Amino acid sequence: MEFSLPVALGALVVVVAAGVGGLMAAPIGMSDEIIQRMVAPSMLVFGLVAFGIGVKHGEFRAA
Protein backbone atom coordinates (compact mmCIF):
# COMPACT_ATOMS: atom_id res chain seq x y z
CA MET A 1 0.00 0.00 0.00
CA GLU A 2 1.43 3.37 -1.04
CA PHE A 3 1.39 6.25 1.49
CA SER A 4 -0.12 9.48 0.22
CA LEU A 5 0.22 12.42 2.61
CA PRO A 6 -2.43 14.69 1.00
CA VAL A 7 -5.05 11.92 1.01
CA ALA A 8 -4.26 10.92 4.60
CA LEU A 9 -4.39 14.50 5.90
CA GLY A 10 -7.57 15.13 3.91
CA ALA A 11 -9.18 12.14 5.62
CA LEU A 12 -8.10 13.52 9.00
CA VAL A 13 -9.65 16.90 8.22
CA VAL A 14 -12.90 15.23 7.10
CA VAL A 15 -13.13 13.22 10.33
CA VAL A 16 -12.47 16.29 12.49
CA ALA A 17 -14.99 18.35 10.48
CA ALA A 18 -17.62 15.63 10.89
CA GLY A 19 -17.02 15.53 14.65
CA VAL A 20 -17.20 19.31 15.00
CA GLY A 21 -20.31 19.45 12.83
CA GLY A 22 -21.97 16.77 14.91
CA LEU A 23 -21.18 18.62 18.13
CA MET A 24 -22.53 21.88 16.73
CA ALA A 25 -25.74 20.18 15.58
CA ALA A 26 -26.30 18.27 18.83
CA PRO A 27 -28.56 19.82 21.46
CA ILE A 28 -25.92 20.09 24.19
CA GLY A 29 -25.20 22.94 26.56
CA MET A 30 -22.01 24.04 24.82
CA SER A 31 -21.99 27.17 22.67
CA ASP A 32 -20.71 27.09 19.10
CA GLU A 33 -17.92 29.51 20.05
CA ILE A 34 -16.56 27.09 22.65
CA ILE A 35 -16.67 24.24 20.14
CA GLN A 36 -14.85 26.27 17.49
CA ARG A 37 -12.20 27.75 19.79
CA MET A 38 -11.48 24.85 22.15
CA VAL A 39 -12.81 21.53 20.89
CA ALA A 40 -11.93 21.75 17.18
CA PRO A 41 -8.25 22.71 17.71
CA SER A 42 -7.79 20.01 20.35
CA MET A 43 -9.35 17.39 18.06
CA LEU A 44 -7.03 18.47 15.24
CA VAL A 45 -3.90 18.42 17.42
CA PHE A 46 -4.76 15.00 18.85
CA GLY A 47 -5.43 13.70 15.34
CA LEU A 48 -2.07 14.98 14.10
CA VAL A 49 -0.21 13.45 17.05
CA ALA A 50 -1.95 10.09 16.58
CA PHE A 51 -1.29 10.31 12.83
CA GLY A 52 2.43 10.92 13.41
CA ILE A 53 2.70 8.04 15.88
CA GLY A 54 0.86 5.78 13.46
CA VAL A 55 3.15 6.69 10.56
CA LYS A 56 6.27 6.05 12.63
CA HIS A 57 4.87 2.74 13.88
CA GLY A 58 4.08 1.73 10.31
CA GLU A 59 7.63 2.57 9.24
CA PHE A 60 8.95 0.48 12.15
CA ARG A 61 6.75 -2.49 11.23
CA ALA A 62 7.70 -2.28 7.55
CA ALA A 63 11.42 -2.34 8.30
Residue 58 predicted with pLDDT over 70: yes
CA angle 29, 20, 17 (to 5 degrees): 170
What is residue 3's predicted lDDT score, i.e. its pLDDT?
73
What is residue 42's predicted lDDT score, i.e. its pLDDT?
93
Query: What is the per-residue pLDDT across 10-57, written as a single tens digit (0 to 9) for each?
Result: 999 999 999 989 888 888 877 888 888 888 899 999 999 999 998 899
pTM for this predicted structure: 0.76
Residue 1 predicted with pLDDT over 70: no
What is residue 14's predicted lDDT score, i.e. its pLDDT?
94
